[in-house]
Structure 1
Amino acid sequence: MQFLAEELEAMKQGGLYGTIRTLESPQGAWVTIEGRKVLNLCSNNYLGLCNHPRVVAKTKEYVDRFGVGPGAVRTIAGTMSPHLELERKLAAFKGAEAAILVQSGFCANLATIPTLAPAAEDRIFSDALNHASIIDACKLSKAPVVRYAHSDMDDLKAKLEEHRDAPGRKLLVTDGVFSMDGDVARLPEIVELCEAHGVILVVDDAHGEGVLGRGGRGIVDHFGLHGRVDVEVGTLSKAFGVMGGIAAGSAVLVDYLRQKARPNLFSSALTIPDVAANLAAVEILEESDELVTRLWDNGRFLKKELSALGFDTGHSETPITPVILGEASDAKTFSAKLFEAGIFATAIVFPTVPRGTARIRVMVSAAHSREDLRFAVDTFASVGREMGLLR
């Protein structure tokens, strides 16, 4: 097992070894790490729901009523009435006929992609910058994976034409919002191409739910494409502030996944505290778009201010704000200096992003105040000048 130590040392020498910090407080706009209160700019807690009083209260209520663990997989003895309650609410929220609840967004891709395109004669078309969970889910299928250049509709069309006469099923999978750059999939064009070529369309809306669409209903709602996207895959660990994953679509799709998807068949059901917390999160989003509006206001403010300082914030179309620094060593140093100054913002380096594009991915939340964000801008400016990255 000597290779383990050798590879870890190589990562350290190459500036690719990550420092994993431990939170000693609830997730929020400010968190406690190593006994210090720091501004949190790197969580996926888009709407500030991780520690919302209604979410906490609902969890306590349901634990008192139903206990904690489901005790089994969904298909044996693990389906409890709160699971079905949440599935109904999520389907209605997404504007879909039905939804299936699994353990995580990662598991939702594992449940969907290899189940719908399992055979060697099938084809899976995948955006070059899709999330690792999509990549791993594709690997579980025997179908060859055809990668198309990121959001390049000409390349996608050419690949679809090239494989038009291939036997078997054809499935296209794309992120809705690409998590490292914050850009949005060209979904209307993708839908047109899939319809023209008889291709099943799966959209992973992990960073779109709670962010895009009416009151955070996601990318399909954002583009008005209800009924034209076959499968919406999602996670409940970001804007919803909890844990869990879903696949939403037609009733027959969900029935099929219940019978055949391996995460549903061979891994225990989501716990009752998770289910209860998610129920509260959905209810909050159904009642008001206030948190979504505040998130976007915060995102626009921070992006504008950081860009004005001279930072490269890429081409994000969402509140995700990448501050692209280039070299992994610079990103690591920048992150460390931010932490010393009171800001928790992790460096993102290869293999999460391509070499030469290391960055601080700044993640704002509806929980941040304008004063929080002004402190962030001033601190980024100070560190950038100290490192010679700004004039």
Structure 2
Amino acid sequence: MLTGVPGEVIPDGAVLVRDGLIEDVGPAADVIGRAAAGTPRVSFPEARILPGLIDVHVHLVFDGGEDPVATLAATGDPALVLDMAARARRLLDVGVTTVRDLGDRNGLAARLRDAVAAGTVPGPRILTAGAPITVTGGHCSFLGGQADGVEQVRALVRRQAEDGVDVIKVMVTGGHLTPEGPSSWELQYGTEEVAAAVEEARRFGLRVAAHVHTREGVEVAVAAGAHTLEHCTFLTEAGPPAGPDADEKLIRTIAEKGVYVCPTFHGGMGALETRFGADVLRPWLEIRRDQHEQGVRLIAGTDAGVTGVGVEQYAEGLRWLGRAGLPADAVIAMATSVAADALDLGGRTGRLRPGLDADLIVVDGDPRADLSVLRHPRLVVARGRFHVPRAGESLPWE
């Protein structure tokens, strides 16, 4: 059993689940001995148990196809919420028990969040940002979260908080999903606007996720107090950064301030490598390795839903973190305990600890030796609800 803390391993472990929570965890003989007589048991002698996986950056409204924006525009809300529910189930199939949705339309992710929590539909725990905050005509403005200037940003944060979002998303720079809007290397908001969002969000107990690509955007988000940096690519108009050395000081600042960084590595990177060659991706891999070595708290998120990125490709993103040179133990923590801390859920999930929600997976093989074994879990438990991903497979109850 891997508890979610790097290096913390129980060779023959067991977890006791009751009423959706972890009641006991430890060596199997001890846990079984402490359990009430007649407690049902399911056994996987050759497998590994670890906490449920967390994807901190998804877009359930997007389908991951060639033109997800056009598909979204052509899909009405009644059909869209059913599509989103299907994607949520597919996330559960690959062991993801918690997601943070960072780009929604018309509050559909919140409706799905509540349905999953009630047990009406299967899926992972969902945290939703609602529509991301962006300038008029800016990146993802078609989702509805437009605000210009400090006062409009404050007002929109208040309105979203009242609507019941779990996190605030701010588009500090542009992005490729909105061709008519600012490019990825262009700044949309300055420090004043982002700081206003952070300050207003804090009043409601919410954290702020900042979509940032450029060095300038990263500086704005860090200075403003954003909690997580999404992408954080240090992109320039000419393309990827020349190398991590040029941004050493800023990377150290990110580490010192304890800001979390989501690289949004995903399964679609393999297609990019095939199309453009390994040299194109090398700068992105090098900067992640350098960030990790400098002590930046990296977390696992895939940007699932954007072009070429399906929700079922979660484990492929982890493999790319491994290819960047990050130790497997560290990658597993980025997908479990560190990700939970980043989402302010460390007291509820991300580790195998008594009193936490029963979010866990069982996989064949050792992910410390091969992260790809995380692709196909045998069992997923999400807040105590058992889910068997493999069609036709039954659990080995004793």
Using structure 1 for the length normalisation, give the TM-score. 0.28
TM-score, normalised relative to structure 2 = 0.28
Relative to total residues, which structure has the larger helix share, 1 or 2?
1
